[in-house]
Amino acid sequence: MSGRSPWPRVLLAAMTVLALLWVAPLFWMFATGVKPTPEIFATPPRLLPGMPTGDHVHVVLTRWPFARWLLNSVIVATATTALSVIVSIPAAYVFTRLRWWGRDALFLVFLSSMLIPLEVNVIPLYFLMNRLHLLNTYPAVFLPMIGMPIGIFLLRQFFVNIPAELDDAARVDGCGNLRILWHVILPLSRPALAALVIYMFTFAWNEFFWSMIALSSPRMFTLPIGLRALQGAYDIDYGILMAGASLAALPALVLFLFLQQSIIRGITMTAHK
Amino acid sequence: MLRHPRLVSTAEIALFLLPFAAFWILFRLGPVLYGFYISLFRWDLLGEVTFIGLGNYATLARDPRFWNALRNTLGFAALAIPLIVGIGLLLALFVFGVRHSRAGRWLEAGFFFPYLLTVSVVGLIWRWMMDPDFGVLLIVLRSLGLGAPPFLNEPRWVIPALALTTAWWLAGYRMVLFRAALEDIPDELYEAARLDGASGARIFLSIVLPLLRPAVLFALVLTTISGFIVFGQVLIMTAGGPGRASEVLALYLYRYGFEFLQMGQAAAVGVVLFVIILGLTLLSFRWLGYESHL
Amino acid sequence: MGWTGDGEQGATMTRRAFLHGAAALTAAAAVGSVRLPPALAQPRVMTLDYYTLFHSGDAAAMERIVRAFNAAHQTVRLNLLQGQWAEYYAQLFAAVGAGNAPHIGICHTSRILDVWRALTPLDESRAGNLLDAAGIRGRDYTKTVWDAGVHQGRRYLVPLDSHMWGLWYNKDIFRRAGLDPDRPPETREEFERACEAIRTRANTLAFHPAEDALPRKIRRAWEILFWGQGGSLLTPDGRRAAFNEERGLRALDYLAGMIRRGWNQPGTDGFKQFAAGQLGMLLAGNWYLPTAKDSNVNFGFHYVPRFFDRPTTWGDSHNLVIPRQRPERTSNEMLVAAIRAIKWINEHSDIWGVYGGHIPAFVPAQRAKDLLESDSWKLALSKFTDMANRGYVHYPLIHERAPQVHSAIEPYVQEAYNGRLAPRDALARAEAEVNRVLSS
């Protein structure tokens, strides 16, 4: 297709302009974060920082437990992802590779809860976690994110396409279900597992409403909640806010630069067709 | 599929399902029921509870503030959904058009990246860009000779501004999914159409769009649901203002629960949201056929 | 995969499957917090949880006090947990309801009517009169603040501070406008003359009445003007709105007039404008001091001008409290330790003044040398203390439903201030909504 008509080139040029505009807010965030305050409020605004400063970054890193927030986010997202994967694999297996009474009905029940967001349950979850004396702990944040049917759903989509003959062959060799799952299904399902890991990790990394309610002390905050606290304290100071936002965006950006294609491919797999 | 039924015991199935089911019952199903139970009481967290039946729902029905929140939520959804899905589709077509070039991948990555940002970052960036005094977006628009009201302070503009922010955040995700759907369309179809002398527009309307239909409809369902629970960007960017022009349902729930300490009424809002979203889900099963989710 | 007998293999797998499932369950259970039985804890050191709603500068100042406390005590240790403003009371209630409340907490004076149920009555606790046990006496505290800490004849609050709004002004802008930077306005006439001079001669923003654009701040600015004429939000019985009258209207009209006269624009952030050197005068709280000092602005500080009949400012107080405790968790001995810690914090609240910028409610702390010699004192705190002692400070509405009443008023006042709603209509709508809130 390429080379024959001038269209792809024109399209590419137009797209490049659009993409630059699209990422301009990010540029503006990074630029504001390193501008001295007078430059931030200069009129007309300056595109590039004239005298870049680390002051705002310094404030965020020294007056706030920013590193701790990052750590908290990593812990919460890792725990959510790991536990989700662990509980989803065997469930997806029995929903695809075995046939039993009530299977489809039960799956439909799980499925219909798939789109029910965490947000509608924050009040009862708050009561529940309070009773368990878990408020302001990691488990309070990640436990409610684990029973999400999306995990089963994603894996199931993949498992059904693995030929049944493989199971049968393994069974003839005397393998039980656990072995089939471990030695036959999982090795063939790496892309689906990667997709699930990416999906759950970004989901947990970005969760906001419930984390905000469940966590109360700044040392326990995850990054999104920490940023909100930053906003509460520096409503007036966009240099500090943008420095904080830049720092919070940085891990995602770095990871994305390295894993760009695998992340996009992983996300693609979550498509529902 | 199953050739050796005797190898499957009920106990084994139960055991395989148990870990997931335990979490699902404790943290998904349980809270829904518990939330409905709480919504039947005047409940203040200190442990003093009074049963009032459907009283909290009656209060909601009479509360203009609740209806205002519902209206704002619907208004947000009505703007954000077409923006997210529409921009996502447009970008997907563009990206699909240049998929063979190396640069195309980078462009796609650029459009996609905002999706990986947390809602706080997104909210802070756009709040800053739309700051009434120093917001660069306003300054640029004004220098282009376009009228730019301070969006976040104008009751008429605040919801569109929030919808636009959300579209910037999420359209890239939709784009990637649509692009994947486009790639599933066999090349032969295009070639055949081209040989028949069909124009680009015709190919799009009569071949691409019908084949994309399921993906687009599903995207509509998903974005509608996320529109109903919009919260983070509103809290960060406007906290519901100016006045109550952007107070959405989730913010209403949050305020009644955690600022006014009326947990029963807040739980009732949660139940209302649950019913709306479950209804939409079941409707989409009927509409798309639940097999389309499989 | 070697060939083994069918039965044996099946048995192994079942056991493994079981172990697998059990492992998953254990993992799920292990994430719950593990509590040591009390006997294993060191019996010598008593740890008291102290839970606050402070953040940023305030939080750092309180941390300083607690560090000093822990350094000075061998047998009692304070475990400080500082929270978020908005959810603080919900969290306090939840903790009391669940029986794991902190031993010491903070409560705003204006919240006593809905929060007292979560608190221990200090003069009638199960451990007796705790005030006597710690030697806390009313005469050591700013009188108005102390007097407000009682509900139905029982004392729940021990005052920590007063905080309030005052007038910050930019001396350089005053000079440019031909005003005397050492004579900030005190009356309405002087104030209006200053605003006009700044607007026309210094050619910059004259005044911001409410820190920033948040609805609750605009409401406070209106309240200052309303209270200054002797108005009151609700009827004395607290059942109906009482602000939709001449004084309320005059106050809102005056507030909206600030925009009409071009002293500022709606929706702007006064903090930011002032720090950027673009704003002549700003009404803002004492917590603005650290930011003002950090900015390059040559600023001065003064009392809130007398806009109407009497000089008035918005203010509130933080108080130290003991949330309700269950006997099986908190012994009488711990209650006494908690009240002694409260007393100690009071005695060191000059630190709270120097680093937090608040006015200590404990009178001896107001006279501490460290405070009187500090920068903060000279720049602003001395005048704040004057305002507190001269009775400028008006508490916000004290009512069980205060948060909801405020929230019912705020959008309309804000819309009037923004010029989108006639003040008369704004008050009528706010009144209707407040009455609806109060009657439900």
- pLDDT tens digit sequence for B211-267: 888 788 888 888 898 899 999 999 999 989 888 999 999 999 999 998 888 899 999
Lowest mean pLDDT among A33-42, C101-110, C183-192: A33-42
**Cα distance between residue B154 and residue C282, in whole Å:** 23
- The tens digit of pLDDT for each residue in B171-196 reads 999 999 898 888 888 878 777 777 77
pLDDT of residue B8: 63
With 80 as the cut, is the pLDDT of residue C23 above it?
A: no
Establish whether domains C43-160+317-347 and C164-314+397-439 are of one fold.
yes
Residues of C in contact with B12 (CB under 8 A): 14, 17
Nearest to B28 among A25, A147, A177 (CB): A147
- Any C CB within 8 A of B14 CB: no
- Answer yes or no: are the C-beta atoms of A19 and B107 closer than 8 Å: yes
Segment B65-76 mean pLDDT? 96
Interface-testing mutation among B4, B258, B262, B263, with chain C (most C C-beta atoms within 10 A): B258
With 70 as the cut, is the pLDDT of residue C335 above it?
A: yes
The separation between CA A195 and the C-alpha centre of its own chain, rounded to angstroms, equals: 11
**Cα distance between residue C204 and residue C192, in whole Å:** 15
- pLDDT below 50 — which residues of chain A? 1-3, 273
pLDDT of residue A236: 63
With 90 as the cut, is the pLDDT of residue C322 above it?
A: yes
Q: How many CA atoms lie within 13 A of B76 on its CB side?
A: 33
Residues of C in contact with A236 (CB under 8 A): 212, 269, 271-272, 275, 291
> Is there a contact between A264 and B176 if contact means CB atoms under 8 Å apart?
yes
Cβ atoms < 10 Å from Cβ of A171: 18
Task: Supply the DSSP symbol for C34.
Answer: P
Chain C residues contacting A, CB < 8 Å? Answer: 1, 3-4, 6, 9-10, 13-14, 16-17, 20, 24, 27-28, 31-33, 55-56, 59-60, 81-85, 87-88, 91, 94-95, 97-98, 100, 212, 269, 271-272, 275-276, 278, 291, 295-296
Q: How many CA atoms lie within 13 A of A195 on its CB side?
A: 23
A69 CB contacts (<8 Å, ≥6 apart)?
A221, A222, A223, A225, A226
- Residue C320 phi, psi (nearest 5): -90, 135
Segment C410-415 mean pLDDT? 94
The separation between CA C395 and the C-alpha centre of its own chain, rounded to angstroms, equals: 12
- Answer yes or no: are the C-beta atoms of A151 and A88 closer than 8 Å: yes
With 50 as the cut, is the pLDDT of residue C198 above it?
A: yes
- Answer yes or no: are the C-beta atoms of A87 and C24 closer than 8 Å: yes
pLDDT of residue C357: 84
The three-point CA angle C154-C160-C161 to 5° equals 120
Residues of B in contact with C97 (CB under 8 A): 45-47
- Answer yes or no: are the C-beta atoms of C223 and C396 closer than 8 Å: yes
Omega of the bond prior to A44 within 30 degrees of 0, cis? Answer: yes
Q: Which CATH architecture describes the domain A66-269?
A: Orthogonal Bundle (1.10)
Omega of the bond prior to B242 within 30 degrees of 0, cis? Answer: yes
> Is there a contact between A122 and B280 if contact means CB atoms under 8 Å apart?
no
pLDDT of residue C287: 84
- Tell me the pLDDT band of B294, cut-offs 50, 70 and 90: very low
With 90 as the cut, is the pLDDT of residue C15 above it?
A: no
With 70 as the cut, is the pLDDT of residue C14 above it?
A: no
Segment B62-75 mean pLDDT? 95
* 3-state SS track over chain B: CCCCHHHCCHHHHHHHHHHHHHHHHHHHHHHHHHHHHHCCEEECCCCCEEECCCHHHHHHHHCHHHHHHHHHHHHHHHHHHHHHHHHHHHHHHHHHHCCCCHHHHHHHHHHHHHHHCCHHHHHHHHHHHCCCCCCHHHHHHHHCCCCCCCHHHCHHHHHHHHHHHHHHHHHHHHHHHHHHHHHCCCHHHHHHHHHCCCCHHHHHHHHHHHHHHHHHHHHHHHHHHHHHCCCHHHHHHCCCCCCCCCCCHHHHHHHHHHHCCCHHHHHHHHHHHHHHHHHHHHHHHHHHCHHHHC
CATH H-level superfamily of C43-160+317-347: Periplasmic binding protein-like II (3.40.190.10)
Nearest to C313 by CA among C166, C129, C210, C119: C166
Mean pLDDT of all residues in chain C?
A: 87
The three-point CA angle C435-C94-A128 to 5° equals 115
Nearest to A47 by CA among A23, A27, A33, A26: A27
- Tell me the pLDDT band of C391, cut-offs 50, 70 and 90: confident
- To which residue do tokens 């953040």 refer? C55
The three-point CA angle A13-A15-A19 to 5° equals 120
- Answer yes or no: are the C-beta atoms of C275 and C145 closer than 8 Å: no
With 70 as the cut, is the pLDDT of residue C237 above it?
A: yes
> Is there a contact between A264 and B109 if contact means CB atoms under 8 Å apart?
yes
Domains of chain B, with CATH numbers? 55-182+214-293 (1.10.3720.10)
Distances (CA, A) of B243 to B151, B247, C418: 14, 9, 10
Nearest to B223 by CA among B86, B71, B108: B86
Nearest to C268 by CA among B152, B239, B137: B152
pLDDT of residue C43: 55
- Any C CB within 8 A of A190 CB: no
Q: How many CA atoms lie within 13 A of C65 on its CB side?
A: 25
The three-point CA angle A209-C114-C314 to 5° equals 90
**Cα distance between residue A245 and residue A266, in whole Å:** 25
A156 CB contacts (<8 Å, ≥6 apart)?
A92, A95, A96, A107, B294
Three-class secondary structure of residue C93 per DSSP: helix
pLDDT of residue B235: 94
Distances (CA, A) of B7 to A159, A177, C284, C338: 20, 8, 75, 64
**Cα distance between residue B49 and residue B33, in whole Å:** 17
Residue of A nearest to B37 (CA): A124
> Is there a contact between B270 and A28 if contact means CB atoms under 8 Å apart?
no
Ranges B236-240, B283-287, C175-179, most confident: C175-179
- Any C CB within 8 A of A206 CB: no
Q: How many CA atoms lie within 13 A of A261 on its CB side?
A: 3
Segment B18-42 mean pLDDT? 94
Relative to beta strand C393-394, strand C46-52 is unpaired
With 50 as the cut, is the pLDDT of residue B209 above it?
A: yes
pLDDT of residue B27: 93
Task: Supply the DSSP symbol for C324.
Answer: -
The separation between CA C29 and the C-alpha centre of its own chain, rounded to angstroms, equals: 39
Task: Supply the DSSP symbol for C47.
Answer: E
- Residue A54 phi, psi (nearest 5): -95, 10
Cβ atoms < 10 Å from Cβ of A273: 13
Domain ranges of chain A: 1-53, 66-269
Nearest to B215 by CA among B88, B27, B38, B73: B88
Between C324 and A7, residue with greater pLDDT: C324
Nearest to B239 by CA among C85, C108, A66, C316: C85
- Residue A128 phi, psi (nearest 5): -60, -50
With 50 as the cut, is the pLDDT of residue C165 above it?
A: yes
Six-digit token pair at C159? 């005052």
**Cα distance between residue C75 and residue C337, in whole Å:** 10
Q: Which residue type does C240 have?
A: R
Three-class secondary structure of residue C221 per DSSP: helix
- The tens digit of pLDDT for each residue in B43-56 reads 877 877 899 999 99
- To which residue do tokens 């149920």 refer? C117
DSSP H or E segment with residue C196: helix C188-197
**Cα distance between residue A116 and residue A76, in whole Å:** 21
Find the radius of gyration of the CA atoms of chain C.
27
DSSP H or E segment with residue C104: strand C104-108
Lowest mean pLDDT among A40-49, B275-284, C60-69, C200-209: A40-49
Lowest mean pLDDT among A145-154, C85-94, C343-352, C417-426: C85-94
Domain ranges of chain C: 43-160+317-347, 164-314+397-439
Six-digit token pair at C151? 């509900």
With 70 as the cut, is the pLDDT of residue C84 above it?
A: no
With 50 as the cut, is the pLDDT of residue C19 above it?
A: no
**Cα distance between residue C211 and residue C287, in whole Å:** 11
Distance from C415 to chain B by nearest Cα, in Å? 6
- Residue C234 phi, psi (nearest 5): -120, 165
pLDDT of residue A63: 82
Six-digit token pair at C328? 């099986």
- The tens digit of pLDDT for each residue in C240-282 reads 999 999 999 999 999 999 999 999 998 888 988 898 899 999 9
**Cα distance between residue C112 and residue A27, in whole Å:** 48
CATH of C164-314+397-439, one of 1.10.10.1100, 3.40.50.720, 2.30.30.90, 3.40.190.10: 3.40.190.10
Between A135 and B205, residue with greater pLDDT: A135
Which residues are bridge partners to C78 per DSSP?
A: C48
Distances (CA, A) of A221 to A9, A72, A125, B236, C101: 47, 7, 18, 16, 20
- Any C CB within 8 A of B235 CB: no
- Answer yes or no: are the C-beta atoms of C208 and C259 closer than 8 Å: no
- Residue C162 phi, psi (nearest 5): -120, 145
